């Protein structure tokens, strides 16, 4: 049985507490995490490691075996038949000439930063190339150009992407199966990445530095439980070095990786500091008020702040204190109907005809405390109760009632009359003088009510008979007249409404994710990985939508990395790290995924390794 190495135990965050059960330990850690507040640096286990890890017994480091195997596999996919083509291909015309200028110490100007081209020139220098080849498109390499050695050196950057992908997924907390899958698909057997690594180009260098920046950022993130320690400073320094390599030294597209680090930093500082204005003194905040008048005059709008007790502002709420016993709405009560969202306007009617229903009175909202008016009083008339029959007290949902205008004697009614455009095409509400007790358009029931002093209702009292609902819903259906059938026209354009099975079935399965099975730390980590992958994908993809220049497929290869990272994160969450699946099920899922990847790579490998003839 293999034992954990010290490095793996530190990342996995094992914490052993003597005499504490598993559930009690998780409850204690969640409480400790929540009480730490916004300061992410003071939170225990804010990173993926513990605050005081217990060193495991010394053993052989087995963590490097799996990435070493995948690295060897990547060597085969990168180096196999790498010299099969002895001609200048595609952008080798451009970067090959720049390499020659470097080696001959000649001045040249190019849009790309210098480090990537210097590394290409270094590959030529180490291989013995003298810079005397013109690199014309389709030209055959001469004997004085050791192109195979140069291709191998540049392909090595692509090989190194594999261990970086592995250790990045480990630092992100993925399960072993997810790490293996991500390592395979991201670097080892992806046709696009394999192909771009086998030529004299800058893309393999760019991808390596981009992978390196993400790895070092995740490594730095996992040092938050020991902020300002030696390791914390070391990985912060290495992250900065990687940003410089990928941004200002290879291609300007590396700025998008810098944007990821910038957004990460802003969010981290935001969570750390939060809103601390209330605990600061008034003179400390004086710089915010330099544009305000120095003196205070009558008629000024001011805020009054307590100089003690946390600096709270004098304020009020639109909330009333509970007074006296509760009074319940009953049959025959006279009430006001106030529309709260528009300023407590009382519902009223008067001897003005409605805009559409000319036989009824108009309804409006009005409120004036200085004028005595009886046109906004309504009397409650209970019709019946669907659950209790004849009752004298109004209940929510079940009681059907009417509202009678106390002055005019008309009833509040809403029928099929539709208001014009100024009324948003809504049903007109009017006051009908006809006293028809069977007119359902005058019935009302209390659908929602808010009163903190009242208990919740009994669900049994709200159940509606299914046959009544069935009858009501079917009576509301209006049959359409029969349409004339259209004959089939073979020359007409045809559209078929159907969904992509993989997308539709996959989205249906994803709806099953409704389990609250993550504690606070796991949820924070889940969001951290998801945001890292998604936002960096967006940073690399969205700008190309607004660029005026011609874009090629290789421009999107960095975008692909973060899309695959998100895919691996989702697979890890739903399958490989799920508590609902056994180890055999996870191994089977991994085997199916890898088999599909291997078959796809084998089928399309010719486009990356070279196709002979047609």
Q: Can you give the residue ranges of every domain in the chain?
A: 65-274+512-609, 334-455
**Nearest alpha carbon to residue 572 among 40, 183, 33, 188:** 183
In the three-class reduction of DSSP (H, G, I as helix; E, B as strand; rest coil), residue 207 is classed as helix
What is the pLDDT, as a whole number, of residue 480? Answer: 55
d(CA 55, CA 10): 8
Q: What is the dihedral of CA 291, 292, 295, 299, to 10 degrees?
A: 150
d(CA 435, CA 442): 10
What is the pLDDT, as a whole number, of residue 134? Answer: 78
d(CA 269, CA 261): 12
d(CA 389, CA 269): 62
Residues contacting residue 256 through CB under 8 Å, at least 6 positions apart:
536, 539, 540, 543, 558
Q: Are 64 and 72 a contacting pair, CB within 8 Å? A: no
> How is residue 13 written in tokens?
């965050």
Tell if the pTM clears 0.85, that is, is over it.
no
Residues contacting residue 532 through CB under 8 Å, at least 6 positions apart:
172, 214, 217, 218, 260, 264, 565
> How is residue 520 written in tokens?
């606070």
d(CA 152, CA 146): 10
d(CA 466, CA 102): 84
DSSP string for 56-68: PPP----TTHHHH
Q: Are 73 and 192 a contacting pair, CB within 8 Å? A: no
**Nearest alpha carbon to residue 149 among 79, 236, 64:** 79
What is the pLDDT, as a whole number, of residue 410? Answer: 92
Cα R_g (the chain), whole angstroms: 36
**Nearest alpha carbon to residue 258 among 47, 41, 526, 535:** 535
Q: Are 413 and 439 a contacting pair, CB within 8 Å? A: yes
d(CA 559, CA 266): 22
Q: Are 283 and 240 a contacting pair, CB within 8 Å? A: no
Residue bearing tokens 């080892």: 188
Binned average pLDDT, 10 residues per bin, the chain of 614 residues: 44 40 49 47 45 51 76 84 78 76 73 77 82 78 83 87 85 80 67 78 83 87 84 88 75 77 81 57 51 57 58 58 70 82 76 85 75 79 80 79 89 82 83 87 78 70 69 60 52 36 35 52 75 78 73 73 77 77 82 77 72 58
What is the pLDDT, as a whole number, of residue 506? Answer: 35
CATH architecture, domain 334-455: Trefoil (2.80)
């Amino acid at each position: 049985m293999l034992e954990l190495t010290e490095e793996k135990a530190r990342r996995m965050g094992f914490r052993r507490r003597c005499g504490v059960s598993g559930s009690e330990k998780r409850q204690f850690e969640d409480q400790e995490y929540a009480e730490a507040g916004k300061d992410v640096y003071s939170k225990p286990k804010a990173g993926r490691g513990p605050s005081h890890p217990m060193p495991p017994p010394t053993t052989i480091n087995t963590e490097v075996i799996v990435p070493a195997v995948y690295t060897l596999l990547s060597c085969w996919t990168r180096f196999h038949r790498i010299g099969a083509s002895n001609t200048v291909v595609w952008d080798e015309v451009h970067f090959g000439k720049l390499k020659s200028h470097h080696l001959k110490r000649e001045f040249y100007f190019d849009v790309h930063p210098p480090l990537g081209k210097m590394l290409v020139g270094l590959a030529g220098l180490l291989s013995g190339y003298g810079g005397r080849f013109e690199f014309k498109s389709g030209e055959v390499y001469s004997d004085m150009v050791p192109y195979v050695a140069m291709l191998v050196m540049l392909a090595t950057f692509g090989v190194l992407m594999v261990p970086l992908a592995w250790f990045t997924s480990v630092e992100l907390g993925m399960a072993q199966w997810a790490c293996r899958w991500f390592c395979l698909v991201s670097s080892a057997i992806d046709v696009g990445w394999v192909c771009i690594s086998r030529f004299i180009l800058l893309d393999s260098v760019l991808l390596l530095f981009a992978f390196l920046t993400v790895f070092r950022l995740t490594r730095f993130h996992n040092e938050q439980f020991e902020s300002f320690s030696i390791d914390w400073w070391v990985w912060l320094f290495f992250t900065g070095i990687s940003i410089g390599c990928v941004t200002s030294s290879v291609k300007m597209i590396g700025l998008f990786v810098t944007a990821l680090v910038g957004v990460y930093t802003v969010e981290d500082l935001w969570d750390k500091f939060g809103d601390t204005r209330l605990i600061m003194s008034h003179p400390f905040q004086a710089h915010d008020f330099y544009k305000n008048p120095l003196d205070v005059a009558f008629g000024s709008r001011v805020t009054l702040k307590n100089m003690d007790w946390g600096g709270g502002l004098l304020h009020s709420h639109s909330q009333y204190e509970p007074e006296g016993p509760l009074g319940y709405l009953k049959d025959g009560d006279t009430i006001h109907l106030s529309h709260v969202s528009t300023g407590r306007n009382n519902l009223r009617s008067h001897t003005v005809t409605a805009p559409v229903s000319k036989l009824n009175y108009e309804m409006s909202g009005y409120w004036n405390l200085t004028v005595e008016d009886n046109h906004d009083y309504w009397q409650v008339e209970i019709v019946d109760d669907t659950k209790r029959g004849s009752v004298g007290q109004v209940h929510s949902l079940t009681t059907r009632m009417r509202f009678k205008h106390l002055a005019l004697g008309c009833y509040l009614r809403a029928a099929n009359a539709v208001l014009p455009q100024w009324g948003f095409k809504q049903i007109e509400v009017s006051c009908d003088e006809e006293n028809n007790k069977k007119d359902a358009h005058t019935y009302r029931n209390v659908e929602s009510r808010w009163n903190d002093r009242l208990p919740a209702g009994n669900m049994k009292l709200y159940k509606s008979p299914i046959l009544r609902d069935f009858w009501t819903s079917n009576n509301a259906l209006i049959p359409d007249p029969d349409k004339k059938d259209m004959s089939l026209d073979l020359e007409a354009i045809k559209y078929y409404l159907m969904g992509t099975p993989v997308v539709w079935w996959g989205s249906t399965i994803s709806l099953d994710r409704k389990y609250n099975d993550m504690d606070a730390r796991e949820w924070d980590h889940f969001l951290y990985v998801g945001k890292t992958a998604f936002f960096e994908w967006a940073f690399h993809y969205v700008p190309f939508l607004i660029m005026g220049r011609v874009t090629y497929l290789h421009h999107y290869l960095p975008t692909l990395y973060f899309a695959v990272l998100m895919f691996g994160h989702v697979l890890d969450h739903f399958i490989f790290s799920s508590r609902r699946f056994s180890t055999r099920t996870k191994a089977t899922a991994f085997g199916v995924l890898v088999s599909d990847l291997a078959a796809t790579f084998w089928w399309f490998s010719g486009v990356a390794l070279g196709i002979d003839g047609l």
